[in-house]
Chains A and B, each alone.
Chain A
Amino acid sequence: MSADEKTKKSRVRMKEQTPEGRIRNFNEVPFGYTPEQAVEEAGRCIQCKRPQCVDGCPVEVDIPGFISLIKENKFIESAHKIKEKNSLPAVCGRVCPQEEQCEVLCVQGKKGEPVAIGTLERFVADYEAEQGELELPKLPPKLGRKVAVVGSGPAGLTVASDLILLGYDVTVYEALHKSGGVLVYGIPEFRLPKVIVQREVDYISKLGVEVVCGAVIGKMLTVEELLNEKGYSAVFIASGAGLPLFFGIPGENLNGVYSANEYLTRSNLMKAYLFPQYDTPIKKGKRVAVFGGGNVAMDSARTALRLGSEEVHLIYRRSRKEMPARHAEIEHAEEEGIKFNFLTNPVKFIGDDKGNLKALECLRMELGEPDDSGRRRPVPIKGSEFTIDVDLAVVAIGAGPNPLLLSTIPDLELNRRGYIVADEETGKTSKRRVFAGGDIVTGSATVILAMGAGRKAARAIHQYLEWTNW
């Protein structure tokens, strides 16, 4: 095998902060490609005639198209090529699970490593932004019809940008004081810098989307009022994952036990890591336990380290194989020194006389028969109880639907789990003129799936408003 062929088998790696260095700051871990690296990596794409990778992309980005422009050093043109289909490339390049979507289908992956599609996407999006003012696409004449979007996370932003490009007037209502949804309150700075989210939101605002923050739909305005009094022709609900789930075990309300939503919101949205320069406080535990095996659990554990915790344990009831988190996140967490405790589940939280968490009682588990999810069900091992000292715990075991908005729309059909029933292809709900997508339909999922739902719903909203057939 020639040296050239060998290099083509493995991808060009991004430089990143060392584990020892990065656990003392909130800066992004990888630095991204240099232009030379990007061109080299793009050279690994063989430009398949029938590219499989595109099939794996929920928003159908022309992957070989944007990569071939990188090969020609046309980075800005490459960014525009992505933006034809994806309004948030700098975000998706960072947080999409490419290893399960586009990259897993790449032919290069059959013999070696797949092309680093996500890293290339990230490169061109950042490159374009660094060149200054983003070029705006030409907008069509206004159609004179308005659409309201509830929630400014990935699904809401995608619908908004797609509809504004079709000529609709779009208003996005965001309950929090800052737009971006989970991109702002959930995903930490070291994985997705907030200036990047702000840049993408600003871009959508420049296209003419009106973003109203601090507007709680269901309270300040109802969906009914949006449709019948405020003159919106359709409403898209993308209010996101709702109430954090807890174990329901004794001691869970002790001081020092957080939901991941609260812990991450304090740190990310409220910038509690900069306390007291920012007013919102956050507990900095010496010994921390984080429960769960998903990306949110990894984010919480790594946040704890950066806030100065001495020892951070990840506690997961199944084994490593069943962890839903991305490989890259698990690797990063391990490199940083997070201690993984598999097949372990908490039984109770133990407090001191002031109501502060001081320890945790756990049980060892073993894997039994497969459950509904196809993963082997963890079963407790009798008599395996043990105690560990912790002064902070973060519960990252998912969320349930938030009743705040849904309870104000009585004629909206919900499924058994309490999420909105919406057509997978169109986002249509049981209520005329109301569409929905993202986590409030699927339960907690990924950024790109929410964007995919937004893309489809935008198409369906356009069709409905043109032809009024429901």
Chain B
Amino acid sequence: MFAIIKKEVFSPEVKLIEVDAPAIAAKARPGQFVVLRIAEEGERIPLTIADFDREKGIITMVFQEVGKSTVYLGALKEGDKLANLIGPLGNPTEIEGYKKVLCVGGGIGIAPIFPIARGFKEAGAEVISIIGARTKELLIFEERMNKVSDRLIITTDDGSYERKALVTEPLKEILEEDSSIEKVVAIGPPIMMKFVAKTTQPFGIKTIVSLNSIMVDGTGMCGACRLEEGEETKFCCVDGPEFDGHKVNFDLLISRLNMYLDEEKASLEAYRKVEDK
């Protein structure tokens, strides 16, 4: 179990793995996540499910190498096994009952927005998608998003591909010309989600963001993932991972995500030293 069946390298730092996990694939729904641990000494890290295939019993995850765990994960090959894969966790996206929705994906956030867009499409909604990346080589899942979107807009920060813009620019234009959009779902870096929520707020459109807080158990037991939605403290793992973008305290989220930067750096350096030997 938990063998890597397939690995795709999108860029030196962005990779996709398909993992053999029939019990999780059987239950996974758009918007949910897993907690994985690579090896005995490993930490538990949450990753949003980018796709699942119930028949083949596999789930797909896309990740960016930032710390030791993701660098290590990126170094694994097809056939290698993960120590643990736990899920599906969190609440699935509310997908039923919409006529027209807008999905926004930024960076590796495009991967988890894909099953959500597909879910909306299968539930009969008209789906407009905006996906964006820093530069062309970091843009992933274009083909997949194209298949499940009625209209797909692509942006790059540096203009190396399609429109040179941040995702918020086409977002604003679309909302200005089309008042029939009922819901916006955004997944990407916290700063992007913050500005997506700011952009949609004046239009009064329900905006859902999927948050990837630091977690330990991922099942409500520890509270590492707490965040603020309005006045309330919530646990990302059991109350989320999706929250009302207009109410989330993004500055707190970002500050808590940076809590272990020094330790992460030390851990990565120690790992690289061992690897070099």
Contact = CB atoms under 8 A, between A and B. Distances in A.
Interface of A: 175-177, 185, 213-216, 219-221, 242-244, 246, 248, 252-253, 255, 258-259, 261-262, 265-266, 270-271, 275-281, 283, 354-355, 402-404
Contact of B267 (A271, A276, A404): A276
29 contacts: A175-B217, A176-B217, A177-B83, A215-B86, A216-B89, A219-B27, A220-B88, A242-B221, A243-B221, A243-B235, A253-B252, A255-B258, A258-B223, A259-B222, A261-B221, A261-B222, A262-B222, A262-B223, A270-B44, A271-B41, A276-B266, A276-B267, A278-B41, A279-B68, A281-B263, A281-B267, A354-B255, A355-B255, A402-B238
Interface bracket on B = 35 or more
B256 interface: yes
Contact of A262 (B84, B224, B267): B224
Contacts of A262: 216, 222-224
B223 A259 contact: yes
Contact of B221 (A244, A246, A258): A244
Contact of A402 (B86, B219, B228): B219
Nearest to B45: A279
Given A281-B263, A354-B255, A219 B69 contact: no
Contact of B87 (A216, A243, A252, A261): A216
B121 interface: no
Contacts of A214: 84-86
Given A262-B223, A278-B41, 4 more contacts: A175-B219, A177-B44, A185-B217, A221-B23
Contacts of A404: 219-220, 238
B86 A175 contact: yes
A275 B255 contact: no
B236 to A, nearest CB: 12
Contacts of A243: 220-221, 223, 235, 238
| Chain A contact residues: helix, strand, loop or mixed | loop
Interface string B135-175: 00000000000000000000000000000000000000000
Interface in B3-55: 23-24, 27, 37, 41-44
B226 interface: yes
Interface string B78-118: 00000111111100000000000000000000000000000
B252 A355 contact: yes
Contact of B41 (A175, A255, A266, A279): A279
A261 B42 CA distance: 19
A265 B35 CA distance: 15
Contacts of B244: none
Contact of A246 (B223, B263, B267): B223
Contacts of A276: 263, 266-267, 270
B170 to A, nearest CB: 32
A377 B223 CA distance: 28
B216 A177 contact: no
B203 interface: no
B264 interface: yes
Given A253-B227, A253-B256, A275-B263, A177 B84 contact: yes
Contacts of A215: 23, 86
A62 B86 CA distance: 41
Interface string B203-219: 00000000000001101
Contacts of B258: 255
A246 B233 contact: yes
A219 B87 contact: yes
B274 to A, nearest CB: 10
Contact of A220 (B87, B235, B238, B270): B87
A279 B216 contact: no
A242 B23 CA distance: 24
A280 B89 CA distance: 20
A220 B90 CA distance: 11
A270 B43 contact: yes
A93 B84 CA distance: 32
Interface in B231-277: 233, 235, 238, 252, 255-256, 258-260, 263-264, 266-267, 270
A203 B88 CA distance: 30
Contacts of A259: 222-223
Contacts of B27: 219-221
Q: Please give me the 10 A-B residue pairs with the lowest Cβ-Cβ distance, nearest first.
A: A281-B263, A355-B255, A262-B222, A279-B43, A259-B223, A280-B43, A177-B84, A255-B259, A214-B86, A276-B270
Given A253-B252, A255-B259, A403 B238 contact: yes
Contact of A177 (B86, B221, B238): B86
A175 B219 CA distance: 8
Contacts of A221: 23, 27
A142 B231 CA distance: 56
B222 to A, nearest CB: 4
A354 to B, nearest CB: 7
Contacts of A277: 41
Contacts of A266: 216
A220 B84 contact: no
A271 B40 CA distance: 10
Contacts of B235: 243
Interface string B58-78: 000000000011000000000
A252 B233 contact: yes
A80 B89 CA distance: 42
Nearest to A403: B238
Nearest to B238: A404
A291 to B, nearest CB: 14
A439 B222 CA distance: 16
Given A220-B88, A253-B228, A265 B221 contact: yes
